[in-house]
Homo-oligomer: A and B are copies of this chain.
Amino acid sequence: MTLVRENEIRRGEVAVELPGMNDAGLVFIGAIRTPWTSRLMTPRQGREDGPVCRIEIFPPWQEALDGLEKFERIEVLYWLHRSRRDLVRQSPANDGSVRGTFALRSPVRPNPIGTSIATLVGIEGATVLVRGMDCLDGTPLLDLKPERTLFKPIAPPQPGDFETG
């Protein structure tokens, strides 16, 4: 039994045909350096006391880091570049039992975007040091933002802010 998925389809899993065209495009704005060079080694989920990882920001995006140092935790979005995208049902335990892709945090998904809440260790020039990552070394970075509970909007209030229902 393979511990982690490479590209096989397992018993009970269901694949669909992917659309031939994309609806939107992404730019890779950096790379995440981690200790894990094989999918057989990566954590299933990051841990707060995990190893320090380096997020390297590509030009011209370094300037966008200004002010990020004030936040203890940041949300990291990355592209799971080695994942297949066509499974609607998956068997993480590879035991014949299956569950819908949206009921899992598996890297295999129609848009393989990983999200982590990382602890900020420091910022050195264009490099952000964090703990709490769970991705392969070399994973493309998509975005960084303050963790939602730490962020207070600076923009003036809008009517929707007060709507309940």
Q: Which residues of A contact B (CB under 8 A)?
A: 1, 3-5, 14, 16-19, 22-29, 35-36, 40-45, 47, 49-52, 60-61, 63-68, 70-71, 74-75, 77, 79, 81, 88-89, 92-93, 98-106, 109-111, 113, 115, 117, 134, 140, 142-146, 148, 151, 153-161, 163-165
Query: Shortest Cβ distance from A121 into chain B, in angstroms?
Result: 11
Mind listing 21 A-B residue pairs with CB under 8 Å?
Answer: A5-B155, A23-B79, A23-B140, A27-B111, A40-B159, A41-B158, A44-B161, A50-B165, A51-B163, A64-B88, A64-B102, A65-B100, A65-B102, A68-B100, A92-B155, A93-B154, A93-B155, A99-B154, A104-B145, A105-B146, A105-B148
Q: Tell me which of B41, B52, B151, B163 contacts A160 (CB under 8 A).
A: B41
B68, A146: Cβ atoms closer than 8 Å: no
B4, A158: Cβ atoms closer than 8 Å: yes
Name the prevailing secondary structure of the A interface residues. loop
Contacts of A70 in B (CB 8 A): 103
Contacts of A92 in B (CB 8 A): 153-155
Q: Which residue of B lies closest to A26 (CB)?
A: B24
